[in-house]
Amino acid sequence: MAATPSTVRATGLYRRLQHESRALAADPVELVTMLYDELETAVGVLASMVRQGQRISATEPARRARTILIGLDTNLDHEAGGDVATALSRVYRSMRRKLDDAVLANSAESLDELLNGIVTISSAWRQLR
């Protein structure tokens, strides 16, 4: 059966509701893990779009990735996290610059490099469980 605009919208709504329900029941570590999942997806989609010959500036995945990086940075608890929070803040800011540069250059290679860094940090975060 072919997807119609209404089934695509319904599927998107269902996924958003499912994601929101999961977020409401999540602990702080799981919430950050969910953000990393979303960040990995957004950057992966951007790289795929570039490989397909699309321009990625001003796209939803670019906005989403940037918003997540800002959210991760601004929600760090510097009081409780000390030096680790400071280091993560520097990493998130660096990632944001790399994202902005990759989007501006429309570079799949730069996005792949960024994604590798995200996966590395995400893997370390998941080990907190």
pLDDT tens digits, 52-91: 999 999 999 999 999 999 999 999 999 999 999 999 999 9
pLDDT on residue 19? 55
In a domain, 17, yes or no: no
Beta carbons of 50 and 111 less than 8 angstroms apart:
yes
Amino acid present at 65: A
∠ CA 39-43-48, rounded to 5°: 145
In a domain, 89, yes or no: yes
Contact 72, 35 (CB under 8 A): yes
pTM, to two decimals: 0.80
Residue 2 lies in a domain: no
Task: Say if 66 falls within a structural domain.
Answer: yes
In a domain, 15, yes or no: no
Asked whether residue 84 is domain-assigned, the answer is: yes
The token pair at 6 is: 């209404």
pLDDT of residue 115: 98
Q: What is the CATH number of the domain that holds 35?
A: 1.20.120.340
List of residues 6+ apart from 39 with CB closer than 8 A: 65, 68, 69, 72, 118, 122
pLDDT > 90: percent of the chain = 69
Domain containing 72 equals 27-126
| Number of C-beta neighbours around residue 57 at 10 A | 10
Residue 8 in any domain: the answer is: no
In the chain, the number of structural domains is 1
